Chains A and B, each alone.
Chain A
Amino acid sequence: MSVEVKNVTKKFGSFTALDNVSLKVESGELVALLGPSGSGKTTLLRTIAGLEFPDPGTAQILFYGEDVTQIPASERKAGFAFQHYALFRHLSVFENIAFGLRVRPKTTRPPEAEIRARVDKLLKLIQLEPMAGRFPSQLSGGQRQRVALARALAVEPKVLLLDEPFGALDAKVRKELRRWLRQLHDEIHITTLFVTHDQEEALEVSDRVAILRAGKIEQIGTPEEIYDNPASPFVYDFLGNVNLFSGRMKDGAVVIGETEFSLGEGTGETDTAAVAFVRPHDIRVTRQANGPALAALVLRSNAAGPVANLELKRLDSGEIFNVQLSKEQFQELAPKAGEPVFVELKNVRVFSDDYSI
């Protein structure tokens, strides 16, 4: 266990940023802290780094078993990359990376030659060797983020903490850097936590994802686990687009309108109000009903991009929902606006206060 957070609560005035959060990160793991803004993910990361201190109580933060709860940030040996990089504007790229080594006390400071060698190695790692003499303001956003990462890595931290590492970059650079981070992590295997509000980024890059909501960890698991088995409607909704169908429970099935959709296993609950969650790509659109299906009207269709999106309206309740089709399915169906169709729902999930399926 390399990073362990136990019962951390942090309040800013009357606002509870972290509400009794506990989290364990295995050595060498890449964990994403995912959540909407205000969910406490950045506060959690800053608390681990020692930039915020948890409210007094039973809170504990352990690095490799060592209690660092009361140790200041400067002695925790955590690498931290800030959302807006926080590079030292008056220092060159080279000196930015060397900073953490130069501020060490004389007894532990490496000799100048070793500092140079280490910085050069890191410059090579981030592929910015020709930029060593430049100042941060002369770099692009993606280059700055790489320098920030190299600066954090230069002190050989025990943990790497990244706050929205790609947040301020444009979509293309984001994707490149995301892949680069994953490769880097596979090379150096440093325990890494990173904060993001982008579910795609969290699911693509990390070994495990912790989903935060209102200062609590709602669910933690591998990307597959949380995508396929969301623990709550919030997680379901947060991880991708979802359609809600209001209906009623009936013997292991949910009745939406007049149609009964099986949920696979019995729940014993009968005739209670329920909301069914269905992802847009788990809806099949046909012209003829064969099996349980709802009648709907095509409102709009958009086939730009790799998949086609349909906007449909239920004939019985008037609820509007979205469907995602592959290009082939879309061409085969060729739906027209105003046309009546049938929809079959797959992987229907129902949540209520007491249970979930």
Chain B
Amino acid sequence: MTPAATTFHTPHPVAQRRSTTESPLVRRLLIGVALAFLSVFLLVPLVAVFSQAFAKGIGFYFHTLSDPNAWSAIKLTLYAAAIAVPLNCVFGVAAAWAIAKFDFRGKNVLLTLIDLPFSVSPVISGLIYVLVFGAQGWLGHYRDAEQPWLPWLQNWLNEHNFKIIFAVPGIVLATIFVTFPFVARELIPLMQAQGRSEEEAARVLGASGWQTFWRVTLPNIKWGLLYGVILCNARAMGEFGAVSVVSGKIRGETNTIPLHIEALYDDLNIAGAFAVASLLAFLALITLALKTWVEYQHARQNQTKMFP
């Protein structure tokens, strides 16, 4: 028998095993380890959240959620996200567009700045806002100044008792700060990979800057953008650290969902805390589902364009 024939007509299937395949034992072990890890650290806590939430019955669950303070926290969270997400969406697209499609001095500095919220502890970001806008900070000094720059602005601020820290504006600002890298980070590599030639083609064909953006750039990045927005929203609603520092935790006024959960927990109202926490857990599940759907849609669209 020639060596070639031995290779092709071997009676033992084992010999055909690919070089990258491990034995069944190793495979099961690897899958087992991964599954065990996921169960302990993800699945069990998730189940715990929902079981604790309903520990005192479904009536108590809805009673907790319909409490005025809970409602206020839910509304404030939605309000902050409704401002932060669109702003970060615009900012992210603008930053990604600038970085991917133009060459300018200081590009790397901008890239580093975009990553800043990821590298700074959220508590520090909150504290920075307190220092800048708090009663002892720049804003406080300005409001108390005897000869202020722009007197009408000082008047207006004092008349309306406009506060940023321990008030809604601070929460919104902190949320924007912590979530602004999500969209930009998602889009920059995508837009860099797509290059500039389609935009150049559009320009030569007579399209204006806006037309180029709406007709060429945006359709090319839409799935990446949606993905970034979903992640950004999840973080905006779930943010604790930075918001906790600037909020002042006034119940029914400046508590967001995560802060309200903490307040309930501190009151030893464990079932109540988990009931509100189940909202965030539910949000996480929806986010996960949306993320999977976006990825699926994106893949499907590429597929149909490849094989009609």
Contacts and interface: CB of A to CB of B under 8 A. Distances in A.
Interface of A: 49-51, 72-80, 82, 84, 86-90, 99-100, 103-104, 134-135, 137-138, 151-152, 155
Q: Is the interface of B mostly helix, strand, loop or mixed?
A: helix
A82 B216 CA distance: 16
B9 interface: no
Interface residues of B, number: 21
Contacts of B204: 49-51, 73-74, 76, 78-80, 152
A187 B134 CA distance: 75
Contact of A88 (B198, B208, B211, B302): B198
A103 B305 contact: no
Contact of A84 (B197, B205, B302): B197
Contacts of B198: 86-89
30 contacts: A51-B200, A51-B203, A73-B203, A74-B204, A74-B207, A74-B208, A76-B204, A77-B206, A78-B204, A79-B204, A80-B200, A82-B201, A84-B197, A86-B198, A86-B201, A87-B198, A88-B201, A88-B202, A88-B215, A88-B216, A100-B207, A103-B202, A103-B205, A103-B206, A103-B208, A103-B215, A104-B206, A134-B308, A151-B201, A155-B206
A82 B205 contact: no
B102 to A, nearest CB: 13
Most buried by B among A49, A74, A104, A151: A74
A99 B206 CA distance: 9
Contact of B197 (A77, A86, A100): A86
Most buried by A among B205, B208, B216: B205
Interface of B: 197-198, 200-208, 211, 215-216, 219-220, 302, 305-308
Contacts of B220: 89-90
Contacts of B308: 134, 138
Nearest to A95: B215
A103 B211 contact: yes
A42 to B, nearest CB: 12
A80 B201 contact: yes
Given A137-B302, A137-B306, 14 more contacts: A51-B203, A73-B203, A73-B204, A80-B204, A86-B197, A88-B201, A88-B216, A90-B219, A90-B220, A99-B205, A100-B206, A103-B202, A135-B305, A151-B205
Given A74-B207, A89-B220, A90-B220, A99 B202 contact: yes
